[in-house]
Amino acid sequence: MELEDLDLEPKAPPVKFKVGDKVVYPHHGAGKVLKKEKKILLGEKREYLTIQILHNDMTVMVPCENTGVAGLRRVIDHVTVKKVVGVLQDEVSDMPGNWNRRFKHNREKIRTGDIFELAEVIRNLAALEGEKGLSSGEKQMFVRAKRILASEFMYALDMSEEDAEAHVDDLLGQGEAAPAA
C-alpha cells in the first residue's frame, strides 16, 4: 500500500438534517432543505439532501453521510448573531501585507465555513477597502463574503435578502454611502 492510498484526513461526523431545516453551505450561503431522498448515482444507493440556496437561486445535493465533511451546518441563532456583530465591529486583525498572500489567507478562512472566520474576513476587507482599496480579486471576495453572511442573517433575523445585505453594510459603516455591488 502506498502512503498516498492512506486516508489521513480526519472525517467530520455527519450532521442530521430534515426537510425544512435552514442550513449554511460554505462558499454558497444559507438555504433550506427541500428534500431528503434516496438516489442511485454511479451505481451506489445513497440518501441525499436537496438544498436550495436562496440568494443565488442555486440547488445543491449533498449525500447525507457527507454533511459534516461538506461543512453543512444549521443557521446561527440570535445569541450567535450578537457575537458575529461583535466580530464585525472589533479591531482589525493582522493580515499578510502582500495582497496575494492575504487573498489566500482569507480564502482559507472562508472555506472553513466558520461564521466567525467569515465575519473576520469581512471586517478586515472592509477596513482595508476604506484605508487603501482592494485588489479586484479581493473586491469580489468581499462582495461574495458579505452576501454569504447576509444570507445567513436573512434566516437568523427573519429579514428579506435586501434588508439583510443593508444590515451587514450598516454594521460595517458602509450603509447608503456604499457603492452598489
149-178 pLDDT, tens digit each: 999 999 999 999 999 999 999 999 876 543
**What pLDDT was estimated at residue 175?**
60
pLDDT for 20-32, tens place per residue? 999 998 888 999 9
C-alpha span between 157 and 138 (Å, rounded): 27
pLDDT band at 98 (very low <50, low <70, confident <90, very high): confident
Please list the alpha-helical segments (H only) found in the chain: 67-70, 78-88, 99-111, 115-131, 136-156, 161-171
Give the pTM: 0.82
pLDDT at 167: 96
Coil/strand/helix, residue 15: coil
pLDDT over threshold 50, residue 54: yes
Could you give the C-alpha distances from 81 to 60, 122, 131, in angstroms and in order?
25, 15, 27
Determine what percent of the chain is predicted with pLDDT higher than 70.
90
pLDDT band at 13 (very low <50, low <70, confident <90, very high): confident
Give the confidence band of 11 by pLDDT, cuts at 50, 70, 90.
low
What distance in Å separates the CA atoms of residue 120 and residue 91, rounded to the nearest whole number? 9
- Euclidean distance between CA atoms 137 and 104, whole angstroms: 11
pLDDT of residue 112: 85
**Per-residue pLDDT, 7:** 46
Task: Return the exposure string of 127-141: e unless at least 16 CB atoms fall within 10 Å of the residue's CB, then b.
Answer: bbbeeeebeeebeeb
- Domains of the chain (ranges plus CATH)? 22-74 (2.40.10.170), 78-171 (1.20.58.1290)
Contact 36, 17 (CB under 8 A): yes
